[in-house]
Structure 1
Amino acid sequence: MSDVQQHITALTERLHHLNYQYYQRDISEIPDQEFDRLLAELQALEKQYPEFALPNSPTQRVGGTITKQFPTAEHRYPMLSLGNTYSEADLREFDERVRRGLEGADYAYVCELKFDGVAMSLTYQDGQLTQGVTRGDGTRGDVVTSNVRTIKNLPLHLRTEGPTQPAEFEVRGEIFMPLPVFAELNAEREANSEALLANPRNAASGALKLQDSALVAARKLRFFAYSFLMPGRNIFPTHSASLQALSTWGLPVSDTWRQCHSIEEVLDFVHQWDKQRFTLPVATDGIVIKVDDFRQQELLGFTSKSPRWAIAYKYPAEAARTRLHTIQYQVGRTGAVTPVALLDPVPLAGTIVKRASVHNANQIAALDLRLGDMVFVEKGGEIIPKITGVDLAARPAESQPIVYPTECPACGTPLIRPEGEAHFRCPNDRGCPPQRKAKLEHYVSRKALNIDGLGAETVGRFFDLGLVSDAASLYDLPAKATELAQLERMGEKSVQRLMTGLEQSKQVPFERVLFGLGIRYVGETVAEKLTTHYRTIEALENASVTELAATPEVGGVIAESVAAWFQETENRAMIERLRAAGVQLALTGEAPQAASDRLVGLTFVLSGVFEEHSREELQHLIQQHGGKVTGSISKKLSYLVAGDKMGPAKREKATDLKVPIITEAELLAMLPKATEAIGGASEDVLPGIDTPTPSAPTTAPETNPGQQGSLF
C-alpha cells in the first residue's frame, strides 16, 4: 500500500470515528474548524487519487451526486405496514390475541416511539453501507443510496465492537427532519414567499426525492434504526438484544424504547409519552408495540397485510376550541402580508397557544372566519398551530366577514397581488419599515453574515433608533462607537464585541454575503450556485435574465428576481458601499481552469431529457470547454441540443431560424479527447456549420479525466 493510499485510509477512519463520537456520543474531540480541515484534505486527496477513495468515504456526506431518476429494487423482506389503533381497548384485545397465539407462554413487549418520518431499508455488507431503499409499495422501493449517505448520524461503515456482525444484514429505520431544522426551513421559505411545508415528514420525504444529493445534505436529515433483519436464523434471540447490538455497532437507536412485561406496563409507556413526546426534537405520532422474542414472532406470523406480533398505537390529533379576537397582519422581508390569528390562550399539544396561522386571504374566505368566532385549533403535523374550523353554533348573530386590507398595515402603500400568488404584497420595499428591518435582521443572521454581537433584536433596535438603514450602513457603526456605548444594555464590552464581529464579517465568503442581501428566491443553495457560476458581484449584476436562467438550479422566476434587484439604483449603490467597507464580493482563489477552448464563441440551448448526462452536467461540460448556455432560441444561437421529450415549439423555432439541431452524442463528439491539450483543437468540421447535414459519431469520445471531480 502506497503512502498516499495509507494516508487516505487513515484520514477516512479518523473522520468516521469523529462523526461517531459527535453524532452518537455527543463528544467533540476536535474543534469544528479542524474537522473541516481534515475533510477538505481528504476531498483534495480523493480528487487527485480517485483510485484510492474508499466506497463509503465521509466526503460523500456533503453530496454532489446527480440522479436523473431513481432505480427501483425489490425488498428481500417485504416492508409491511402495521395495524393501527387509537384505542386502549384495542391494545388489550391485541394482547389477548398474542396470549392465545403463544398458548399461555411467557412473553414480553418492546415499546418504541413511532417517529414521523420516512421508512428506509439499509443494507450493510462486511460492515459497509451498500444500499438504501425507500418503502415504496412494500414490495419494491426507490434506491436512494447517494442521498442516504449524506445523513450525518448514519454510519457509512460500522464499528466492530460487540456481537460479531453477519456478512450481510438489513437495518430498517426512520429518516426524519428534526423539528428545529423544519422550523428553520419553513422560516426561510416564508421569508422567500414560498409555500410552507405541512410537516417534517413531508419535508423529509421531499428531500429524499431530490436529484442532487448536495441539496439533500443541506436538509440536515437524521436517522433512527428500529429493526434488524438477516438471511436465515437471526443471530439474536430478541428484538431488544438486536437494538442493543445495532447501537454498539454505531447505528443511531433512540434511547426512548422500553421492554415491557405486561399490557399494563405498555399502557404506562403510552401514557408517559402522551405529553412527554412534545419535549423531543423530533415529531412523533404514536407508539409501536412488538413482541420481543424473535421465535415467538415466527409463531405468531403475519396476516396478508401486517404482522400479528406488532401493532401501532396512534395518538389522536390534539385540538382545542378557543375564541378568535382579531387578525394581525405582518409584513415580511419580501413584502408578503401574512394574517395571524390572535386567540384566547389555550393549552394544546404541550404548549399554550395564543396565535395561529391563517396563511392568506384565500384561507380566511374558505373558513369564513369572523372576529369573535369560536374556532378549532390543531397543530399541523403537531408543529404549527392552525385554525381548522369554526363552531358556527356559537357564532355571534351580528358577526361580519373579515375584510382583507387593501393597504399595507405598516406604511399605507396599496397592496398588490401578483398573478398566480396567494399573498398580497407591499411593493414599497424601500420605505416600508418592517421590510427594511427584516432585511437587516436577515443580513446579520447565522446563515448569512453571522455578525457576533449583532443579533436580530439588537439590529432591530438600532434601526428603530435611526442608527442603521441597510446592510452597508452597518459598517458605519464603528464611527458611532461612543454613541453606542451610551445606549442601555450596551456598554464598552458589548460595543467592542460588535466592532470585532463587524470586522470579522468582512471575511465571510461571497456566497453567504449574496444570501444575506435578501434577494427574493435566493436561498443558500441558489446563492452558492450563482457565486460559483459568476464568481464576482460585477459579473452577476451585469448578467441578463436569459443568462441567469441558464445557471444550474436557477429558473426563470429566480432569474427575473435577481436581474430586477440589480437593476435598482439603490441596490447597486449599496453594493458599492459594501465593497468600500471590505465585504467579500467575489470568490477567492483561481477559477476552475478550462478543460479546453474548443467551444469558445459558441452558444447552446439544452432541451429535453438526455441519456448519458443530466442537463446540468452537459451545461457544465459546455462551460468547461469555453461555450455558453442560454435559455432561449435566437438567430445568434449556435446549436440546439435536442434530448428526448423536447417540446415541438423549440424544434420548430430552431428550424425556422436555421439553427442547427444536434444530439447529445454530437455535442460530446465536439469535445476534445483526453489526450488533446488546451487550445489544441482539431481540424474536424463542427456539426451543422458549413456542412448541410451533421454527421453523428458512432461513439462518444472519452470524458476528460480533469472533469471527473466537478461532474460527479
Structure 2
Amino acid sequence: MADQPSVAAADRAAELARSIEAHNRAYYVDDEPTISDAEYDALFRELVDLEANYPALKRVDSPTQRVGAPPSTAFSSITHGQAMFSLANCFNDDELTRFDDSLRRELGVETLTYNAEPKFDGSALNLRYVGGVLESAATRGDGTVGEAVTPNARTIRNLPLRLAGEFAADSVLEVRGEVVMPRSRFERLNAGLVDSGNKPFANPRNAAAGSLRQLDSAITAERPLMFYAYGIGQRIDVAITDRISEQLERLDRLGFTVSPHIERVQGVAGCIDYYQRMAERRPELDVEIDGCVFKLDDGAQRAEAGFVARAPRWAIARKFPAEEVVTTLADVDFQVGRTGAVTPVAKLVPVAVGGVTVSNASLHNADEIARKDVRIGDQVRIRRAGDVIPEIVGRAAAERPADTRAIEIPAACPECGSAVDRVGDDAIARCTGGLVCPAQLREALKHFASKSAMDIDGLGERQIVAFVADNLLASPADIYRLYQYRDALIERPGYGEKSVDNLLAAIETSKNTTLARFLYALGIREVGSVTADSLAERYKTLDAVRMAALDYPDQVARVSAEHSTKKAQEDALSETGLRALPDIGPRVAECIAEFFAEPQNQRVIDELLAAGIVWPQPEVSVAGGELAGVTFVITGRLPTLTKDELEARINAAGGRVASNVSKKIDYVVVGEDAGSKQERAASLGITQLNEAGALALVDGS
C-alpha cells in the first residue's frame, strides 16, 4: 500500500467521485440513468480500490461512504441549531379559511402569497453542513434534540454529501426535509423480504422510518430511500433569501431533490385549488403524501406572524381525510392495564386501511360501545389516519345480521378473576385485584422501570413477563431483591453472566433518583411526569406529599361544612393543599389521596425506601425562599435567558414554574410571541412581567 497518492491518482479519484455522484443523481433523482449498471459498478469499484490503496484520498463526502459504516450500539443525541417546529393541522376548507383570515387581519394584507407543497408521509431529517460538507444528520426528535443518524443518512443516494458551490470553511447550513421510500421501490423491497423469509413492512412510511434508524448503516444502504428537501434551519455565513420559494430554488441548485409539485399560490382560494388538485394526483404519485402544507412565502411576514407554542402561526397542514373501510367485528377481547382498566379490544376480520393491515381496534369502554351500538358479528366502519390507532366509527349498515351478539364487560377480571367494577361516574370498568392481578403487576413493573421513571436499562417487557410468571416479581420492591437470584438468572435460557450483571448494575444505579421520578414511578392514577414534578417542587419531601394526600379528604369535608355553594367550595380548595397546585384538579387530587390511603401502597413504598432508593434532599434556597408558594408561567421568547435558565433561577428562589395559565398562577412572564397564554393571563387579571421584572422578583429587589 502506497503512503501518499500521486497527483494522477488524486485527480482520478476526484474525477470518479464527480462522475459517480452525477450518475447517482441521474438514476435516483431524475430516474433517467445514463450508463448501465455494469459500467456504474466498474467506476465505483475503481474508486474503492484507489481509496483502499491511498487512504488519504478517502473523504467524508466520497460516494463510497454511502455503503454504510460498522453497526452502532446506540444513537447519540444532537441539538438542532434551530428548533424544528410542529405544524398546526386543519381538516376542511372552513378551517383553512379561518387560518388565512386570521393572518390577513394580523398582517393587514388583503391577499397573502403562500408556498404550497405536498406533505410527505415519511421521516423528518435535519442535515447540518459545515463548509459545504455534511457534518451530521439527526431525526426531528422533540424538535430541539434528535437522534444522530449520520452514518445512515450518508447512504441515501440522492442526499448531497457536499453542496454545489463555494462555502466558507466555518459556514453552517441546516437543511430540513423528509426521508421517504417511493411506492415502486417499497414493493420491490417487500417482495425481497418475503422471498428471504423476513417480515415485510406495513407501508412505505414505516419502511422509511425503520430503515433510517437501523443500528447497522449497511442495512440502511440496501434500502431504496430518498430525501426531499423542504426548508432551511440555522444558517451562519451563508447568504440565502428569506423567501421560501427562492430558498427551495437555491436548495435545488445546491444538489437537493425538491418536490416538483411545489407552487406559489395566491390567497386561500389558491390554497384550496392546490389542495384539490393534489388530492386528485395523490393516487398517481410514487411517494406517499397525507396532505398539503401552506407557508407564508414572504420572510418579513413570517417574522411578524411569529409562533404560538411549538408551531409557527404562518404555516398550516391541510390533511387529507382519514381513510375508512368496512369489515366484520369477529370478536372482542378484554385487556387489563396498569391501573386495572379493563379495555375491550375489537378483533376484526383483517382489512387494509391507511396503508396498514388492521386486525384489532380499541372500543374504549362500555359507554362507547353503547353509543356506537356495535355487536359481535356486525359489519363496522374502520377509520385510520397516519399513526392514529384504528377506531371503529360505527355500524356500516342500518340492518344487522340476525346472529349478532351483544358485547358485555366481564364481571370478573380475565387475568385474575377478581371483581370488575365501575365506580361513580368513571366510564372505565376496573379490575379490583391490584398487584394480585398479573396483568396489572406486569404493567406496573414496566412503568416503574421505564426510562421516565426509575430508568432500569435491561428490565423490559420480555424480562418482566418471565420474572412475574416465575414468581420472582410480585411488587416493584422485588426488583431490588433480584440480586439474590443471580446464579439462577444466569442459567436461564437467553441470559448469561454479562447480561445478568448488567441488569443488576442498572437496578443498583436506579436507586439514586429524584423525588419526582420516584413519585411518577409509583404509578399513581392520573399522575403523569408533569404532575409528579409539581408535587416534588411544592412539597420537597415524600413525607410532606404523604401528609398532604392523607389530609385531602378531611380538607374536603371541612370546606364542604364551611361553604354552602359548589363554587365557594372549589375556590377554597384551590387555595391550599393538593388543589393549590396548578396541575391538580379534583379528579387528580382524589387519585393521589386514594393511593396513599391504601395500606398495600404504603407497604411497597416503605420496602422501596428500605431497599436503598434515595434522592437529593431539598437545599435551603440562597435567596431564603422569598418566592416560596409563588407560581409563575413563562411564555414567549425571552431577550437574554432561555426558559430553562429563568425557571432554574425561580426554583432557586423558592418559587415554581407551571405549564398552564389558571387562576392559581401568581405571575406570567411574557416574552416575544407570547401567544394565547398572555391572552389568558389578561382575561384572568394575572400580573404580567417581562424578563427584567421577573429577575427583580427573583433577586428580591
Provide TM-score, normalisation by structure 1. Answer: 0.48
Provide TM-score, normalisation by structure 2. Answer: 0.49
